[in-house]
Amino acid sequence: MALQLDERQRAMLLEMGVRVWLPGTAFAVMADNDPAPVAPTRAAVASPVARAPQPAPVVPKAPAAAPEAVPVQPSDLAALDWNGLADTAAACTACGLCAGRKFGTLQPAAQTQADWMVVGDPPEEEEDAAAQAFTGAPGQLLDNMLQAVGASRTGSGPQGAYATNVVKCRPPHGRNPAPADLAECAQFLQREVELVRPKVIFAVGRFAIQTLLSEHGALATQPLGKLRGMVYRYRGIPVVVSYHPKLLLRNSADKAKAWADLCLAMDSITPS
């Protein structure tokens, strides 16, 4: 039986380099300068429609350069007031933590002096977005703890409490701050202490404790269970260590221990 091909089918086969001979016909003659036919692929035979042009490969952009590290000198902070200190912290590029910062959490104190100062671990996402230390449920628990000893973050003097983070920027990708990061930001903490003039510092969280107990050498790296129940010193100011409120929310059994730590801190305050 003769193969039945119409003109369109013959033209398509010829385009693909397939020459068909039928009785009474001659092979199509290719010119000498025509390119040699290419064997069709299975996909080409199945779908002879011309393939759409492929887009040019996308060259990935080089990652944005990290901000140049500009160390902060203690002399640069010594004369700053609250507003100047907060502005400097918000623009600081002294360490790599600034890469994860939306807003710095160092904010001017609501009072000129507070007997209580609470120092916590690096800010988490909620604190970073609010530009404030101790927000959300942990912040509410801290406020309740302070109220139990007659202090608040809106009070002043013996009834006043100032709360801050040991570093002022949220670490990028939630990583832990490196010792160099803690050392750079410790200068801001030192100036905060000078402005608040607290009678006691309540340190909650591993990195806050390490920084505030750095004067005590290797003792600062001991587990919290071995550090509790003692009064330490940071630049002559009593320091009491305890659990971070976010940990107390996960393990309410430790709240009794935290209450004992608060009582120890309260007893360490020297009356004016």
Give the residue among 271, 255, 265 at the shortest CA–CA distance from 229. 265
pLDDT of 190 strictly over 70: yes
Place of tokens 């068909």: 20
Mean pLDDT of 175-185: 90
pLDDT value for 75: 57
Query: Any idea how long the chain is?
Result: 272
Whole-model pTM: value is: 0.72
Over residues 67-114, the pLDDT tens digits come to 455 555 555 788 899 999 999 998 888 887 887 788 889 988 888 899
pLDDT value for 164: 97
Least confident window among 149-163, 173-187, 193-207: 173-187
Three-class HEC string of the chain: CCCCCCHHHHHHHHHCCCCCCCCCCCCCCCCCCCCCCCCCCHHHHHCCCCCCCCCCCCCCCCCCCCCCCCCCCHHHHCCCCHHHHHHHHHCCCCCHHHHHCCCCCCCCCCCCCEEEEEEECCCCHHHHHHCCCCCHHHHHHHHHHHHHCCCECCCCEEEEEEEEECCCCCCHHHCCCCHHHHHHHHHHHHHHHHHHCCCEEEEECHHHHHHHCHHHHHHHHCCHHHHCCCCEEECCEEEEEECCHHHHHHCHHHHHHHHHHHHHHHHCCCCC
CATH number belonging to the domain at 74-267, selected among 3.40.470.10, 3.30.2020.30, 2.40.10.170, 3.40.50.170:
3.40.470.10
The proportion of the chain whose per-residue pLDDT surpasses 70, expressed as a percent, equals 72
Highest mean pLDDT pick, 34-38, 53-57, 195-199 = 195-199
* CB neighbours of residue 65 within 10 Å: 6
Q: Which two tokens stand for residue 216?
A: 């005590």
Mean pLDDT of 29-50: 45
Mean pLDDT of 163-167: 96
Three-class HEC string of 8-23: HHHHHHHHCCCCCCCC
Least confident window among 2-16, 112-126, 139-153: 2-16
C-alpha distances in Å from residue 256, one per residue of 70, 145, 248: 44, 11, 10
Place of tokens 């390119």: 35
pLDDT of 50 strictly over 80: no
pLDDT value for 140: 97
Q: What is the mean pLDDT of the chain?
A: 81
pLDDT value for 6: 67
pLDDT of 133 strictly over 50: yes
pLDDT value for 97: 83
258 or 37: whose pLDDT is higher?
258
pLDDT of 249 strictly over 60: yes
pLDDT value for 100: 74
C-beta of residue 102 within 8 angstroms of C-beta of residue 129: yes
pLDDT value for 172: 84
